[in-house]
Amino acid sequence: MKHPWLPVAGLSLLLTAASAWADMRAQDFVDKASAAGMAEIEAARLALEEGHSAEVKRFAERMIKDHTAANEDLKALASRKQLEVADAPDAMDKAKTMLLELREGENFDDAYARNQVNAHEQVVELFREASQSLDDRELQAFAKEKLPALEEHLEMARKLAGDQ
């Protein structure tokens, strides 16, 4: 005897698994984006203390302002979706900030500028991918909204590093 409920149960399991996958992807983006934002803020605070040039300090002030606002927006959105933001930068970003702490003066400025180019290349890629392929429409819209500012930060960092 066939069980007529079996296909329905299978479909239900499939939909539940798909929903869990979408949630994991959304949570993964929230984790990575919030951790990256915190890393930017930490590095910028260090640049305000240790930076030599006025350009580095202006850039750092802008990073603190923009990334603080973006993280607050992300935290509010994540909270509405019952997702959690990261509570600290990831280990690699912490290590990079620790290496920056060992630099002084103009040497610090150069290292900070290179760090910011690398960090913003990574975060632009994260937000670009999320804006195109994230299953959660609100988070996808958030990524699209923030992407132009992050691309601007990348260009600013490249100029600071003398890459242009």
The CATH number covering residue 71 comes to 1.20.1260.10
End-to-end CA distance of the chain: 73
Q: Is 10 a member of any domain?
A: no
Calpha distance 31→34 (Å, rounded): 5
For residue 101, what pLDDT is reported?
A: 62
For residue 132, what pLDDT is reported?
A: 92
Please tell me which residue, 17 or 122, carries the higher pLDDT value: 122
Owner of token pair 């400025």: 109
For residue 5, what pLDDT is reported?
A: 53
Query: What domain count does the chain have?
Result: 1
Owner of token pair 């100029």: 159
Structural domain span for residue 111:
28-160
For residue 81, what pLDDT is reported?
A: 94
Q: Is 81 a member of any domain?
A: yes
What percent helix, strand, coil does the chain show, rounded to 5? Answer: 85, 0, 15
For residue 88, what pLDDT is reported?
A: 72
Residue 91's pLDDT band (boundaries 50, 70, 90)?
Answer: low
Q: Is 90 a member of any domain?
A: yes
For the chain, give the mean pLDDT. Answer: 83
For residue 107, what pLDDT is reported?
A: 87
Q: Is 13 a member of any domain?
A: no
Lowest mean pLDDT among 16-20, 74-78, 80-84: 16-20
Residue 90 contacts residue 35 (beta carbons within 8 Å): yes
Residues in the chain: 164
